[in-house]
Amino acid sequence: MVNLENYEEYMMMYADGELNEVETKALMDFVAANPELAKELEAYSATKLVPDTTMVYANKDQLMKAPPAGGRTIGMRTWWMYAAAAAVLLFTVTIMRQGGDTADSPVVVSNTPATTQPVSTQPTQTPVTDHKTEKDSNREELHSNPVSPVTHENNIA
């Protein structure tokens, strides 16, 4: 029961008078088997404080503060707890509202599976040709020339 891992706890409980007879006997047997711990048990026992009952404060009733005339008050410690709870609640609501519908969140349109079409292994390319007529060369170009459509080569394993 008592060993080198927990003997200090048992010594403190012995000094406080918290051990029953079986635990006290086990502690005393352990100290007898380890005589180097006898001084430590003596030191724990010497730390027990005994109140001095001869000292009496004459005006003991003046130590208590009178209750307020207006009724119930909220103590400073209680006020801080309410303020902290309100701040946590406000913070949580703010975070939850910001995390609502964003442009990055996925949207489910339908639950039907998508159909796939076979992908060709060779990308199709259309040559880009510059067909300018005399009429086009005289006119100021306001827009860029169209570019051939971009194709991607998809490899499906």
d(CA 91, CA 106): 26
Specify the pTM. Answer: 0.35
d(CA 152, CA 157): 16
CB 41 within 8 A of CB 30: no
Question: Which residue, 114, 121, 130, 109, is CA-closest to 151?
Answer: 121
Mean pLDDT by 10 residues, the chain (157 residues): 91 92 95 94 86 83 75 68 89 82 59 64 60 55 60 58
